[in-house]
C-alpha cells in the first residue's frame, strides 16, 4: 500500500523568508508519480508539479523548487522569498503506474505573515 506523510501540520513564516515543506512517501512500486498541490482558502486545488520516479532532477519554477530524493523517499518543496499569497494548504500526493488513484498526504498549512 502507498502512503504519503507530511509531518508538518502548520508552518508560519514571515514574508520574504524561505520555507521548506516536507513530504515522505512509501510505495513498493518502482514506477510512480509525485505531485504537489496548493489549496487556497477558496478550496480549489491548484496543480504545482508532477514528477515521475525515473526523473530525480530537481526542478525550479520561479520562487518554487522541488527536491526529489529516492534514497530517502522524499519530495520536498521549497518556497523562496515567501509572499502572503503563498498562504494555503499544500498537499503532496503519490500516484502509481496506471494512474488510477492518487494518495494524498494530510497537508501542510502555510501561513505567511506580512
Partner 1 sequence: GAVVSQHPSWVICKSGTSVKIECRSLDFQATTMFWYRQFPKQSLMLMATSNEGSKATYEQGVEKDKFLINHASLTLSTLTVTSAHPEDSSFYICSARLPGLGLDYEQYFGPGTRLTVT
Q: How far is the CB of 81 from partner 1 (least distance, A)?
A: 27
Question: Which of 106, 101, 76 has the alpha carbon at shortest distance from 89?
Answer: 106
> What is d(CA 76, CA 36) in angstroms, rounded to the nearest whole number?
9
Nearer Cβ to partner 1, position 17 or 52?
52
State which of residues 11, 13, 24, 45 lies at the interface with partner 1 (CB under 8 A): 45
Strands 19-21 and 102-104: unpaired
Using rule CB under 8 A, residue 91 touches partner 1? yes
16 vs 50, beta carbon nearer partner 1: 50
Is 36 near partner 1 (CB under 8 A)?
Answer: no
**Longest C-alpha distance within the chain, in Å?**
43
Residue number with CB closer to partner 1 (14 or 52)? 52
Angle in degrees, CA 95, 99, 102, rounded to 5: 40
**Minimum CB separation from partner 1 for residue 92, in Å?**
10
Amino acid at each position: 500500500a502507498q502512503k504519503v506523510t507530511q509531518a508538518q501540520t502548520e508552518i508560519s513564516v514571515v514574508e520574504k523568508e524561505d520555507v521548506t515543506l516536507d513530504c515522505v512517501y512509501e510505495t513498493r512500486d518502482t514506477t510512480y508519480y509525485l505531485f504537489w498541490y496548493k489549496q487556497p482558502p477558496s478550496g480549489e486545488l491548484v496543480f504545482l508539479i508532477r514528477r515521475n520516479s525515473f526523473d530525480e532532477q530537481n526542478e525550479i519554477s520561479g520562487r518554487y523548487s522541488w527536491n526529489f530524493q529516492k534514497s530517502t523517499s522524499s519530495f520536498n518543496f521549497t518556497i523562496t522569498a515567501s509572499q502572503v499569497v503563498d498562504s494555503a494548504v499544500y498537499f503532496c500526493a503519490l500516484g502509481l503506474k496506471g494512474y488510477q488513484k492518487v494518495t494524498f498526504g494530510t497537508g501542510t498549512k502555510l501561513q505567511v505573515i506580512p
